[in-house]
Amino acid sequence: MRGFARRKTLPDYKHIRVPDQGEALSVAADGSLQVPDKPIIPFIEGDGTGPDIWKAAVGVFDAAVEQTYGGERRLQWMEVFAGEKANGVYGPDTWLPEETNQAIRDFRVAIKGPLTTPVGGGIRSINVALRQIHDLYSCVRPVRWFQGVPAPVKEPGLLDIVLFRENTEDVYSGLEFSEGSDDARKIIGLVEELTGRKLRPDSGVGIKPVSRTATRRLVRAALRYALEKNRKSVTLVHKGNIQKFTEGAFRDWGYELAVEEFRDQVITEQEMWDKHDGKCPQGKLLVQDRIADAMFQQLLLRPDEYDVIATTNLNGDYLSDAAAAQVGGLGLAPGANIGDGIAVFEATHGTAPKYAGQDKVNPGSVILSGVLMLEYLGWDEAARNITVAIEKTIGDGDVTYDLHRQMKGATLKSCSGFAGAIIDNLAT
């Protein structure tokens, strides 16, 4: 009856077909996510190779949930539209229909394949728009190595981090004024008036906002994750030595939040040296900070000393791709964009259009994004089942072309063949 009541309140969509079975997720008064046994999950299959990848990935998700929970739980998929397919369904130049956004709001957790970035038109990037419209303020990127994947460093297995990148501010705020424009001239004039400093008149100008509010909620999400998953440290990465009131403030607000809200569970690096001779006491989460340029070196030289990382938007952008390269590239890098009680999980690579319809590319990034989604739903057993099966599949040398061309003695699998091998390797 409860499910029926919740279903009755669902809006009528024009082109989206709500599945006959299943319920929407909800959020309790204390902010916790309430997950029914048959949650309705909106999905965007994506452009280019998206349909190939999605078809392969969904087979893995369904098989893992079925094998793990024996029919007690099921994901009820509901297609929603964005990108090129949305143009076909809703009419030209409709890249991200309002109905899709409404469905994401109504059902709270969605997953997507890669989307074409429209050239020209009213929308800069569908991915950025989704993050902004739904205030998905944490971009979460776990980066780890899978045994057998060729990597440029000697010991790629030492890196196992989860990066929380602030998703809404910094130089991504879109506040840029082109060289010679009236607005740029006005801002240059204002800067001179306020500081006495002259900027070159032929400068383009950008604004980098970093707020206490956005920093605190991002760092809170990283700390909660680290505590829940028993990770050993959270490192605040910033460029505060130069940009004191944005990047430096990010570090200060991060520490402030950590001791204010998590006092009993955390220890700062300073406290560790002052009171514990540089050793983190048992059961405490270490909160430390590193300057961004040093962090790039540290991840290469001492990767096992880092765990969860919380950082500003641009640092996070660079750092997540560099870390992914260190363990063999973006092909197996999943991503999540998470807000309060709402999340969109996504492949981190693009649409690779030249391979569209060839059942060729690696579906690993979307499959691992689904693993993140299952963890977010609290279905950790199914998530673990898939991860172990992927480890085994790659370990056996059953891989798609991108890994095959770099791995000696491997067996070439198609996109669907790779997914099939993962399904075969799921624990029953």
Closest CB to ligand NAP among residues 289, 346? 346
Question: Least distance (Å) from ligand NAP to the CB of residue 374?
Answer: 20
Dist. CA 181–CA 185, nearest whole Å: 6
Dist. CA 28–CA 55, nearest whole Å: 33
Does residue 317 have an active-site annotation? yes
Question: Least distance (Å) from ligand NAP to the CB of residue 53?
Answer: 6
Decide if 281 contacts 140 (C-beta within 8 A): no
Restricting to residues 365-404, name those near ligand NAP by CB under 6 A: 365, 402
C-beta nearest to ligand NAP: residue? 350
Q: Which stretch binds ligand NAP (CB under 6 A): 32-40, 67-75, 110-118, 206-214?
A: 110-118
**DSSP line for 318-364:** HHHHHHHHHTT-GGG-EEEEE-SS-EEEEESS---GGGTTSS-S--H
The Cβ-side half-sphere exposure at 180, using a 13 Å CA radius, reads: 0
* Residue 351 in contact with ligand NAP, rule: CB under 6 A: yes
Binding-site member from 40, 58, 115, 226 for ligand NAP (CB under 6 A): 115
Question: Least distance (Å) from ligand NAP to the CB of residue 114?
Answer: 4
Q: Name the catalytic one among 183, 293, 304, 424.
A: 293
Q: Name the catalytic one among 252, 317, 321, 380.
A: 317
Closest CB to ligand NAP among residues 95, 376? 95
Question: Least distance (Å) from ligand NAP to the CB of residue 390?
Answer: 14
Residue 1, number of CB atoms within 10 A of its CB: 5
Partners of 43 in the β-ladder? 79, 111
Restricting to residues 225-254, name those near ligand NAP by CB under 6 A: none
* Residue 361 in contact with ligand NAP, rule: CB under 6 A: yes
In Å, what is the CA distance from 177 to each residue of 128, 155, 191, 240? 19, 44, 14, 25
Would you state the structure tokens that stand for residue 13, as one six-digit string?
Answer: 């969509």
Total chain residues near ligand NAP (CB under 6 A)? 16
Dist. CA 408–CA 403, nearest whole Å: 10
Restricting to residues 290-349, name those near ligand NAP by CB under 6 A: 331, 346, 349
Does residue 172 have an active-site annotation? yes
Angle CA 337–62–334, to nearest 5: 30
Closest CB to ligand NAP among residues 22, 363? 363
* Residue 85 in contact with ligand NAP, rule: CB under 6 A: no
Closest CB to ligand NAP among residues 287, 415? 415
Q: Is 58 exposed, middle or buried (0-12, 13-18, 19+ CB in 10 A)?
A: buried
Decide if 310 contacts 235 (C-beta within 8 A): yes
Does residue 239 have an active-site annotation? yes
* Residue 362 in contact with ligand NAP, rule: CB under 6 A: yes
Question: Least distance (Å) from ligand NAP to the CB of residue 200?
Answer: 32
Q: Which stretch binds ligand NAP (CB under 6 A): 9-17, 71-79, 219-227, 357-365?
A: 357-365
Question: Least distance (Å) from ligand NAP to the CB of residue 112?
Answer: 7
In the block, residue with structure tokens 């999400």: 221
* Residue 352 in contact with ligand NAP, rule: CB under 6 A: yes
* Residue 100 in contact with ligand NAP, rule: CB under 6 A: no
Q: Name the catalytic one among 47, 85, 170, 172.
A: 172
Q: Which of 260, 241, 240, 242 is nearest to 250 (CA)?
A: 240
CB proximity list for 100: less than 8 A, separation 6 or greater: 16, 42, 44, 80, 81, 82, 86
Q: Which of 245, 117, 123 is nearest to 174 (CA)?
A: 123
Question: Least distance (Å) from ligand NAP to the CB of residue 169?
Answer: 20
Q: State the catalytic residues.
A: 172, 239, 293, 317
Give me the residues that bind ligand NAP (CB under 6 A), please: 114-117, 127, 331, 346, 349-353, 361-362, 365, 402
